[in-house]
Amino acid sequence: MTDQSTQQARTPEAPAPEPRSGGVTRRTLLGTAGATGLVLGAAGGAAGYAAAPAPATPLTSVGSDRAMFHVKHQPGITEALQACGHLIAFDLAAGAGRKEAAALLRRWSTTAERLMAGEPAPHDDTDVSRDAGPSSLTVTFGFGHSFFARTGLEKQRPAALDPLPDFSSDRLDKARGEGDLWVQIGANDALVAFHALRAIQKDAGAAARVRWQMNGFNRTPGATARPMTARNLMGQIDGTGNPKPTDAAFAQQIFVPPTGEPAWMANGSYAVVRRIRMLLDDWEKLSVSAQEQVIGRRKADGAPLTGGHETTPMDLEKADAKGDYVIALNAHARITRPDKNGGAAMLRRPFSYHDGIDADGTPDAGLLFVCWQADPLRGFVPVQRKLDRGDALSRFIRHEASGLFAVPGGAGKGEYVGQRLLEG
């Protein structure tokens, strides 16, 4: 995954509101950030904001970071992990069809564009994140398998959206999986993320109802002395083997090509979403050495057990003094390697979650696994089948919910997400 690139900021169409008592509004904060050269955009294009009567405190770099809405691939796929996230699925309301879906995606796209620019929602804004900047907010939209029958667009449903196969380790709650529409929200500020969630929910109106919703988090940018690969709730460095945009095959592995089928999915991707509960009480009973054997990597720095540092290639043939493989045949890191799965690759971009403590004291915590690929039958499925057959980590996790969504390419200027499907 790459760091978010600097983009030009957009001057809002509406004039800035009058300052509240104290002289600082969200808009003047954004204006000050642009004027002081913080990363609102290459041009610092917030000069159109009204000046506060008193000097305003500039936004920090976290608050001023901005992702763009009108891009080739939807935001929220290749950006760096964000500190806060919400995943939410909707079902179209009874009687709602293609027309209502198009109007909803138009509303959602307008709202997402404004919020990602650090502006208020286009109507009935709640002021939840009034004092914050964009904070790397991204809003991503996708379509589930059932969406196409609901809208009379079955002929446009991609073959890659066929239901995932059953896996023996699954313990899926159907009420918390799939859905007609899926929205992923991420930001580096919890209030900014919630603000977007609330705006998206309100925009749904009578057209769609919430099917399920999940909340997640990651380490906050800047919390470590240097940029580092994230850790999951097991304490393991998680994401070392992710494909990188600089890899020659990255675009081919992650995105539908511009000439791909169906045409409306050009530059899009497919998201597999899994709620994976970590059995932390059992995991934490293991010694660090035993945990490392399960994963195949050192816990401290993510290096393979065969030596080196985090990105050192594994020596899968290396044996110990007894003649046993140093990295066990069922070690998680060995099984998930692309070269052990016919080249299958996916871009993992998860959030951790914690939904409280069960009555017996067991934490309901784990990973909101989100992975991206050009075709889940060539990305997620072969890897998960192999994990299902003998991953040492399987004893310590439980897949409790699942979804697969077609995420079209980014909307062009003046377009809304999914317009080529809904108006094609």
What contacts 109, CB < 8 A, 6 or more positions away?
69, 141, 411, 415, 416, 417
Kindly state the percentage of the chain with pLDDT values over 90.
82
* Predicted model pTM: 0.86
Q: Is 14 a residue whose pLDDT tops 70?
A: no
Residue 380 in contact with residue 371, Cβ under 8 Å? yes
List the domain boundaries for the chain. Answer: 1-8+27-59, 278-404
Q: Residue 249 class from Cβ within 10 Å (0-12 exposed, 13-18 middle, 19+ buried)?
A: exposed
pLDDT band at 24 (very low <50, low <70, confident <90, very high): very low
How far apart are the C-alpha atoms of 358 and 385, rounded to whole Å?
30
**292-312 average pLDDT score:** 98
Where do we find the tokens 């509406």? Answer: 14
Q: Is 240 a residue whose pLDDT tops 50?
A: yes
Lowest mean pLDDT of 25-34, 201-210, 273-282, 346-355, name the range.
Answer: 25-34
Question: Which residues are catalytic, by number?
Answer: 238
Give the model's pLDDT for residue 343.
Answer: 83
Q: Is 274 a residue whose pLDDT tops 70?
A: yes
Give the model's pLDDT for residue 86.
Answer: 98
What contacts 54, CB < 8 A, 6 or more positions away?
23, 24
Residue 155 in contact with residue 424, Cβ under 8 Å? no
Q: Is 353 a residue whose pLDDT tops 80?
A: yes
Alpha helix ranges (H) inside 166-255:
190-204, 250-254
Closest CA to 50 of 10, 13, 19, 16: 16
pLDDT band at 380 (very low <50, low <70, confident <90, very high): very high
pLDDT band at 424 (very low <50, low <70, confident <90, very high): confident
How far apart are the C-alpha atoms of 135 and 319, rounded to whole Å?
47
pLDDT band at 57 (very low <50, low <70, confident <90, very high): low
Q: Which residue has the higher pLDDT, 14 or 278?
A: 278
Residues in the chain: 424
For the stretch 261-272, pLDDT in tens is 999 999 999 999
Q: How many CB atoms lie within 10 A of CB 82?
A: 28
Where do we find the tokens 């003046």? Answer: 414
Residue type for 413, please?
K
**395-399 average pLDDT score:** 97
pLDDT band at 229 (very low <50, low <70, confident <90, very high): very high
Give the model's pLDDT for residue 71.
Answer: 97
Q: Which residue has the higher pLDDT, 139 or 33?
A: 139
Q: Is 393 a residue whose pLDDT tops 90?
A: yes
pLDDT band at 17 (very low <50, low <70, confident <90, very high): very low
DSSP assignment of 304-366, as one string? Answer: BTTSS-TTSPP-TT-B-TTS-BSS-TT-HHHHT-GGGTTT---EE--EEEEEEE-TTS-EEEE
Q: Is 339 a residue whose pLDDT tops 50?
A: yes
Q: Is 104 a residue whose pLDDT tops 80?
A: yes
Closest CA to 372 of 397, 354, 347: 347
Q: Which residue has the higher pLDDT, 252 or 11?
A: 252
Q: Is 18 a residue whose pLDDT tops 80?
A: no
**230-242 average pLDDT score:** 96
Closest CA to 405 of 276, 274, 272, 275: 272
Give the model's pLDDT for residue 8.
Answer: 39
**306-316 average pLDDT score:** 97
Residue type for 228, please?
M
Share the mean pLDDT of the chain. 88
Give the model's pLDDT for residue 338.
Answer: 80
How far apart are the C-alpha atoms of 60 and 164, rounded to whole Å?
43
Residue 348 in contact with residue 369, Cβ under 8 Å? yes
Closest CA to 382 of 341, 416, 421, 349: 341
How far apart are the C-alpha atoms of 414 and 228, rounded to whole Å?
37
Q: Is 42 a residue whose pLDDT tops 70?
A: no
Q: Is 336 a residue whose pLDDT tops 70?
A: yes
**389-403 average pLDDT score:** 97
SS (H, E, C) 259-302: CCCCHHHCCCEEEEEEEEEECHHHHCCCCHHHHHHHHCECCCCC
Where do we find the tokens 């009567």? Answer: 53
What contacts 391, CB < 8 A, 6 or more positions away?
330, 332, 335
Give the model's pLDDT for residue 58.
Answer: 63
